[in-house]
Amino acid sequence: MDKRIIMPAMPIPLYDEVDVLVAGGGPAGVAAALAAARCGASVLLIEQRGYLGGMATVSQVPAWCPFTDHKKPVIRGIGLEILNEMKSRMEPEFQQLWRDKLDWVPIDSEVLKKLLDDKMIEANVRMLYHTFISNVLHREGKVEAVIFHNKSGTFAVKAGIYVDCSSDADLAYHAGGQFAKGGEEGELQPGTMCFVMSNLNRPKYMEYCKEFGGSLKHAINEAKAKGTLNVVRDWAGISWVNDHTAGFNFGHIFGIDGSRAEDLTRGAIEGRALVHHIVEWLKRTIPGFEDGYLVLTGEQIGIRETRRIIGDVIVTADDFMDCRSFPDDIARNAYFIDIHMAKPTSGMTIAHLPAGESHGIPYRALLPVGIDNVIVAGRSISTDRATQGSTRVMPNCFAMGEAAGTAAALLTKQGLNSTRSMNIDELQKQLVRQGAWLGNEVHAKYGGKDAKR
């Protein structure tokens, strides 16, 4: 029996026609929209929540991953601009502590939300919050329109270039793109429900931690052995916004595919239950947390891995380990390969690059095969699974998004809607002019100034 329901044909109003449509308002989408608008393109940014920031705000990820290769910043341009402006809006004590630091800087999601709103308004980026893409009209390898839905109804928008920063490559998926997902058996990294606590006593906690190497590893392992704490890893990421408030990246929920609503629902329910369990343990066990109060859990469980596009080139673990550069590099990555266990019995996969080293991310890795007017930026670019465990983090997403938005604007200014018509020299030159870091060779070629710190 066919259980499908056939919808009658219906006319869909054309909401707008723009140079660049950006799908998704996480770090990649933020940078793409700002870059495109600053280069003179008309931009519409569609975001399904009521604010920007992606995992940093939606899922309360408590800290930025490193912007440096341990010697110099490799993530610069718009990403570094936003990091530094966020710090400038924080409390004076926070500014003093983090002024010269670019790695693992704590995030205040409310400060970040307001900052990103301000940035979009300054750049004249049009935004639609509470809006999600429901379909894509495409023909012969070209997207003709994107269909979106919100409280006002169902609408279409047309663009010269479409930039997919949806994290799960939703736009490319609906346009018929090709994908890989997870490992050889379809396994995916687990999700984490991050959370925020207040009414803490940081000095007391830090004094306690001195006995055990500055972390909770000893206490977690002891509690696991006693059966009083139900977590898999003996690690807790704690990022202090001030002496009384901290964000936590602590615990895993397994078997979550972030491209499935059913899994996101289960992740939300199980994630919140685990957070309450962890908070009760922290208050009962850890000095400085006795009077702690759970302020907030993520609106969505944090997702590390879903779809990866099959692009014109696939960046591999060998490229990562060899610190390879590509002729069409549009960003550099120095973050370590960080693949969390797919099952409670699995292990972590971690591989670091030497200090001062990085590898290139080529423009071709942002181009989904078979689609000629879509650029994908963020954790769903074309890599193998190991490399995705490195490129997926938020600073990298800023860099990839800035490149995607810049390319989209340059193409539309020339009246082009084929992403493969991009003049790479022109793109690299513009990115260097904007302050992006593409490596010493490219920097020297276009006269960029090294911002070593």
Instruction: Specify the pLDDT at position 448.
Output: 66
Structure tokens at 91: 């409390």
- Per-residue DSSP letter, 314: -
Q: Is the full-model pTM beyond 0.85?
A: yes
| Residues facing residue 154 across a β-bridge | 149
Helices (H) and strands (E) in the chain, counts: 13, 17
Instruction: Specify the pLDDT at position 2.
Output: 77
DSSP string, 317-333: HHHHHTT---TTEEEEE
- Per-residue DSSP letter, 226: H
Work out the widest C-alpha separation in the chain, in whole angstroms. Answer: 68
β strands within 169-302, DSSP E: 179-181, 195-198, 237-242, 245-249, 293-297
In sequence order, what are the residues at sequence separation of 6 or more whose Cβ sits closer than 8 angstroms to the Cβ of residue 48? 130, 131, 132
Residue 245's SS3 state is strand
Structure tokens at 202: 């940081």
Instruction: Specify the pLDDT at position 210.
Output: 86
Structure tokens at 183: 């490992």
Instruction: Specify the pLDDT at position 451.
Output: 42
Dihedral angle at the C-alpha atoms of 274, 234, 205, 227, nearest 10 degrees?
60
Instruction: Specify the pLDDT at position 213.
Output: 77
Instruction: Specify the pLDDT at position 450.
Output: 55
Dihedral angle at the C-alpha atoms of 157, 160, 163, 169, nearest 10 degrees?
70
In sequence order, what are the residues at sequence separation of 6 or more whose Cβ sits closer than 8 angstroms to the Cβ of residue 174? 133, 135, 136, 138
The segments of the chain whose pLDDT lies below 70 read 1, 448-453
Instruction: Specify the pLDDT at position 212.
Output: 78
Amino acid at 130: H
Structure tokens at 75: 């993530």
Amino acid at 389: G
Q: Which long-range contacts (CB under 8 A, 24 or more apart) does 428-435 make?
A: 428/328, 428/329, 428/330, 430/39, 430/406, 431/77, 431/330, 431/402, 431/403, 431/406, 434/35, 434/38, 434/77, 434/78, 434/402, 434/406, 435/76, 435/77, 435/80, 435/81
Instruction: Specify the pLDDT at position 453.
Output: 36
